[in-house]
Homo-oligomer: A and B are copies of this chain.
Amino acid sequence: MSQLDTVQRILDAAEVLFAERGFTETSLRTITSTAGVNLAAVNYHFGSKKELIQAVFERFLTPFTTSLDAELARLATEEGSLQLDDLLQSLYRVALAGLASQGRDPKRFMRLLGLAYTQSQGHLRRFIVSRYGDSYRRFAGSLATALPHVDPVTFYWRLYFMLGATVFSLSSFDAIEAILREDFGAESSLEETLARLAPAAVAMLTAPVPTEGG
């Protein structure tokens, strides 16, 4: 078993287990036994558990943000005015295609993103912001220019509403899908759910801004 194998096996196991149980609830012993490697391998290859967590995020956030950046650049040159639907569909398409091509589960991606936000883990938030903050701001900026009539503060709140709707519903996709399947017998694929989410997000972003005075 070569070095690359060990590192990769640890990352694979950690990614799945973190998404299923959270960071604190997943012990290094569970990770290493699942990966079939020695307990000390994590500290040897990554230094600490915190750095392992960051490495898990780095492995899928780096290709994701680079693809997203490229897609945004392509959109910016292609047409004169950015369309909201195009932007959101870019986001979804990049997230889905990029991960699916690696044989990774996009739902796990969303679940981890949700964990990054909700589990305190200050070091992780700092790591993500410092590493991927620029990509995030670029995407938010593109979205903002497609919504010129919405004042900045309202726009940013709605952006967080949209992120919340996305991360929350997709990170719990399996649970929600199971409920709906039981109640209505209707199966939902991830693609279908994104096809439902996109227009809902557009409607939320473009909703008329109520005037202060009434």
Contacts and interface: CB of A to CB of B under 8 A. Distances in A.
A201 B200 contact: no
Contact of A203 (B164, B197, B204): B204
Interface in A194-209: 195-197, 199-204, 206-208
A172 B158 contact: no
B210 A200 contact: no
Nearest to A207: B203
Interface stretch (A8-16, A100-108, A113-121): A113-121
Given A162-B165, A164-B164, A168-B160, A152 B200 contact: no
A8 to B, nearest CB: 25
A32 interface: no
The DSSP consensus for interface residues of chain A is: helix
A24 interface: yes
A187 to B, nearest CB: 10
Contacts of A195: 210
Contacts of A162: 165
A149 B21 CA distance: 38
Contact of A24 (B25, B114, B153, B156): B25
Contacts of A20: 120
Contacts of A184: 152-153, 156
B193 A199 contact: no
A6 interface: no
Contact of A161 (B118, B165, B180, B188): B165
A171 interface: yes
| Smallest CB-CB A-B distances: 10 pairs | A164-B168, A203-B207, A161-B165, A118-B118, A24-B24, A165-B165, A164-B165, A204-B204, A203-B203, A160-B169
7 contacts: A22-B120, A157-B180, A157-B197, A167-B168, A199-B208, A200-B204, A204-B204
